[in-house]
């Protein structure tokens, strides 16, 4: 897992060559005024899901992991609490589905806050629980960029 400010994105270009285009999108697009939806940068290799939703209590969250994509989660507005744990420390509660590129798990992890202009990169070994309320539920606007490995 990587957590940082968008101004430092270039430090991570070497992790995967497709990250360059993904971070360029996050830095250059007017995300505040964009409508929620899917935005393709390179077909199914790199695309963004712009979302607006109400954060939820931890007990309503779910631990998830992906195999085919790196997730870059970038907060446009609001504050969101997220969890992260290593895949090896978790127990599978729903087997991996290829169509959703998603594995659901259970276990314990660590939690942190994501604030505007911050991003987090989740690799396949990074189980994560996004969408949680920092204190009280609030509306957040977030971009999840999916980068094929």
CB contact at 8 A, 76 and 142: yes
Q: How far is CA 40 from the centre of its chain?
A: 16
Q: How many domains does the chain have?
A: 1
Q: What whole-number distance in Å separates Cα of residue 113 and Cα of residue 105?
A: 21
Q: What is the DSSP letter of 35?
A: P
Helix/strand number for the chain, H first, E second: 1, 12
CB contact at 8 A, 121 and 70: yes
Q: Closest Cα partner for 116 from 53, 32, 47? A: 32
Q: How far is CA 93 from the centre of its chain?
A: 21
pTM as predicted: 0.94
* pLDDT tens digits along 53-62: 999 999 999 9
Q: What is the DSSP letter of 19?
A: H
* pLDDT tens digits along 103-136: 999 999 999 999 999 999 999 999 999 999 999 9
The CATH number that applies at residue 70 is 2.60.120.370
* pLDDT tens digits along 52-87: 999 999 999 999 999 999 999 999 999 999 999 999
Percent helix, strand and coil across the chain, each rounded to 5?
Answer: 15, 55, 30
Q: Which domain holds residue 72?
A: 2-148
């Amino acid at each position: 897992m990587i957590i940082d400010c968008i101004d430092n994105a270039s430090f991570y270009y070497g992790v995967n060559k497709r990250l360059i285009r993904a971070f360029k999108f996050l830095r250059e697009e007017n995300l505040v005024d964009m409508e929620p939806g899917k935005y393709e940068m390179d077909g199914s290799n790199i695309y963004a899901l712009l979302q607006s939703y109400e954060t939820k209590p931890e007990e309503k969250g779910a631990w998830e992991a992906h195999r085919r994509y790196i997730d870059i989660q970038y907060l446009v507005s609001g504050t969101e609490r997220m969890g992260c744990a290593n895949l090896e420390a978790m127990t599978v509660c729903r087997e991996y589905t290829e169509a959703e590129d998603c594995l659901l798990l259970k276990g314990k992890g660590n939690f942190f806050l994501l604030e505007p202009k911050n991003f987090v990169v989740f690799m396949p070994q990074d189980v994560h629980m996004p969408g949680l309320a920092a204190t009280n539920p609030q509306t957040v606007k977030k971009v999840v960029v999916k980068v094929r490995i």
